[in-house]
Chains A and B, each alone.
Chain A
Amino acid sequence: MAKILLEMKNITKTFPGVKALDNVNLQVEEGEIHALVGENGAGKSTLMNVLSGIYPYGTYTGDIIYDGEVCKFSHIKDSEHKGIVIIHQELALVPEMTIGENMYLGNERGHKFAIDWNTTYAEADKYLRMVGLEESSKVQVKTIGTGKQQLVEIAKALAKKARLLILDEPTSSLNEEDSKALLDLMLGFKKQGMTMIIISHKLNEVAYVADKITVIRDGTTIETIDNHGQEPVSEERIIKGMVGREMTNRFPKREGVKVGDVQLEVENWTVHHPLYPERKVVDNVSIKVRKGEVVGIYGLMGAGRTELAMSIFGQSYGANISGSLKIDGKPVRLRKSIADAIRHKIAYVTEDRKGNGLVLSQSIRVNTSLANLDQISNHKVIDEDKEHAVAEEYREKLKIKTPGVEQLVGNLSGGNQQKVLLAKWMFAGPDIMILDEPTRGIDVGAKYEIYCIINDLAAAGKSVIMISSELPEVLGMSDRIYIMNASKVIGEMKASEATQENIMAAILKSGRGE
């Protein structure tokens, strides 16, 4: 048996009123990749913050034994000194600075008052090659893509002489290809003897890369699953530990599906990139949606899904948009105006609820009514009592867990925020709802509730377009599926015919430039 590099024993951490961690135990062997999984708020990040000294010694109880000695970190510098380096989910790079400057930020080479730039860039280049980047370290970070930025983060960690590397959701903003490359890089590091802890929501990636998987639920360790078998451990097996029961039905059944006439028809839709007008981000796409139908659009990040949706929604994205749009069989010319799109009963529920969807500093009530203020106003004067009643109605209907509708949206959990966002657009009274990644970053229980809402919308005769990069979700929810890749729709399938295999096959086939 290999040597135990890190042991966290009986870690308990309380915040005012909440026990975030309750007697958590974690053992990491030297040279393994250890995955931490759990629903949002289960305590994964808290545990890693305890380990890295962000929550200093004394604010928690229990022991951290690293490399055979008990550690009392009081600052993140202390843990980094020992070779424990954490890479956070949000990239912490300064876009205007060069890669080299970023890598040695706070860890400058040379003297404090005389930085040695030659050494900085030479060393930075060395580490960049180790993570497989060809870029010069003198290039500004903003000029490289997100996938490469993530690699720079790793190079930065290596430059700190990491022995134990902690990656918090490293692939959350990467596309499939970059994710795969990153995971393979991790496997490569493992061969060289590096120890890693990965926190991830993407269970297929966890199963692919991890040697052991520790499941955390409600602040306690549930189990550690060994992943050394012939077959990688199944996602269902991990989910069982995460939610505490077997999720036999991850997707709710739809009763009495009645699909009506075609409501929205998009033909030969082409959209150009707003900054690089010669680039087509949506290329000659034709789709249609019927009343009461859930249409899934599957594609990897960057396939043009969001661009398609937003360009339909009042041209809120893109330049030189061409193509035709029919609603209920009648041609519609939507001007470049979102208000106009809402008047034509189209709603677009964004994938980025915090950035593009909600006003976090305002209450649930204010957010619910924002896209349809006229409905609750009289000559532009808002009737707050009516508004309150509306917000209350949707709170009950969508089971938003909150003490009241005056609660600020910023204080809600991700799943509840997503429900507020849905409430806002349902109240806008659309016939056509475009849902962009409606379950991104929310936990399994809340996902199920969102799926139920989607089914209810379809049952009420709405036309639902659901964009997602989670294949099981698309397969489980849709009546019909469009597959997008590289700005084009490359396939259309009935749900009954679609499988994980034939969808991936279609993407691969188009990727070969058939």
Chain B
Amino acid sequence: MRMKGVSLSEFFKKYTMILALVLVAIFFSITTQGKILYPQNINNLISQNGYVFVLAAGMLLCILTGGNIDLAVGSVVCFAGAIGAVMMNSGINIWIAVLVMLLTGLAIGFFQGFWISKIYVPAFIATLAGMYAFRGLSNVVLQGYAVSISNKTFLNIFGGGADCYIPDFIGKGGSLNLTCLIAGIAIAAIYAIVTIRRVTVQKKMGIIQNTAPELLKAGILCAVVIWLFYKLASYKGIPTVLIWVALVLGIYNYITNRTSIGRHLYAVGGNEKATALSGVNTRNVFLFAYANMGLLAGLAGILTVARASSAQPTYGQGYEMDAIAACFIGGASAYGGTGKISGVIIGAVLMGFINQGMSIMGIEANYQRVVKGVVLLLAVMFDVLSKRAKK
């Protein structure tokens, strides 16, 4: 019986944030009379917070290297978006504009990464400098005005304007978007099959003894996916931005879990000296994290200007903080070395829920900020306390 008690408390520790997420969802379902779970609101939650997911994925890699953050991402989002908007406005091919936006982000990332990794400028300072500089340059590029984007192809692909859904190929018309629903079921099915195969192999090799918890976890996840896509299908279908978000999260989940460079990020954050003495070029790991952050900031810039159909000098303000908060709420350690993409997803969804829920309840934006601040503090407090209890 004692064993069971131990595993239960461990369960709570491991899934604190998921439980918090469920509680927050239940809370807002009650206070909004279930409105927060309306298909339209679920949809908004994804499209409004797309940038958070993208930026937080990049931010996680920076944080992993030792709690380092990138303060410049909000400004880089704005700068890359501004360049793209101006280019498209002057009639340049949109693919060239997209490429230039991504490369702009990447170049800025490299630039900042260079100072941090080779010159040993503290990340906080190097990116604070970038935050000022690129905000200013955005203004210069836009000459202080909003530049609107009218290119339909660009807006459709990157999820802008009103028409930002994957068209329904299968069910012509109808109230339920069949393409979306089928996609959801297919994703759940593929995930289930992959998990079952992995678990059987691992059991055979003796890596895990009990397959039930893994399978249960996968089952719950599949149910959530199908439920999510059902909600989306009842509205207008899959928002295009979800494709980009899913792509980014998928790729970065893979990088952090399964590749050498991912492993190096965790190792550097855990013990830089030991990692260096294991033959890893640790400075290049820092460079990678920041260059990559720049690239993702470029992508977030594209998504942001596409969503608003314009670029303005004020865009992206505070985005860096949203991304950082999502990482920490999602369990990344402020000292580096631990944190996962799955945690980032939970952190970003939790923040999205709180934003959305309070908006529906009609709470003023200023108080929303207060609540976000409190949630961040509580999340990190939980993390610190549970780690201390372990010792």
Contacts and interface: CB of A to CB of B under 8 A. Distances in A.
Contacts of A314: 279
Q: Of residues A370, A371, A384, A424, which shows the largest number of chain B Cβ atoms within 10 Å of its Cβ?
A: A370
A514 to B, nearest CB: 36
Interface string B332-366: 01000110000000000000000000000000000
Interface string A347-389: 0101000011111111000100111011001001110110011
A303 to B, nearest CB: 21
A316 interface: yes
A493 interface: no
B276 A389 contact: no
B277 interface: yes
Contacts of A377: 259-260
Nearest to B267: A359
Contacts of B51: none
A341 B279 contact: yes
A26 interface: no
A142 B259 CA distance: 41
Contacts, number: 85
B202 interface: yes
A389 B205 contact: yes
Contacts of A20: none
Given A356-B277, A357-B277, A366-B266, A373 B260 contact: yes
Nearest to B277: A356
A377 B262 CA distance: 12
A382 B260 contact: yes
Q: Of residues B267, B275, B276, which shows the largest number of chain A Cβ atoms within 10 Å of its Cβ?
A: B267
B258 A342 contact: no
Q: Of residues A316, A342, A355, A373, which shows the largest number of chain B Cβ atoms within 10 Å of its Cβ?
A: A373
B260 A371 contact: no
Nearest to A342: B279
A362 B270 contact: yes
Interface string B255-281: 000111111001101110111111111
A366 B267 contact: yes
B271 A359 contact: yes
Contact of A350 (B263, B277, B333): B277
A427 B286 CA distance: 26
B337 A356 contact: no
Given A359-B270, A382-B263, A388-B205, A338 B258 contact: no
Nearest to B335: A361
A359 B276 CA distance: 11
Contacts of A348: 277
A356 B270 CA distance: 11
Contacts of A285: none
A472 B277 CA distance: 29
A366 B273 CA distance: 16
A358 B207 contact: no
B195 to A, nearest CB: 14
B258 A366 contact: no
A316 B277 contact: yes
B201 interface: yes
A382 B202 contact: no
Contact of A371 (B202, B259, B269, B278): B278
B263 A338 contact: no
Contacts of A380: 259-261
A339 B281 contact: yes
Contacts of B271: 355-356, 358-361
A381 B269 CA distance: 20
Interface of A: 313-314, 316, 337-339, 341-342, 348, 350, 355-362, 366, 369-371, 373-374, 377, 380-382, 384-385, 388-389, 392, 424
6 contacts: A355-B271, A359-B271, A360-B271, A370-B275, A370-B278, A392-B206
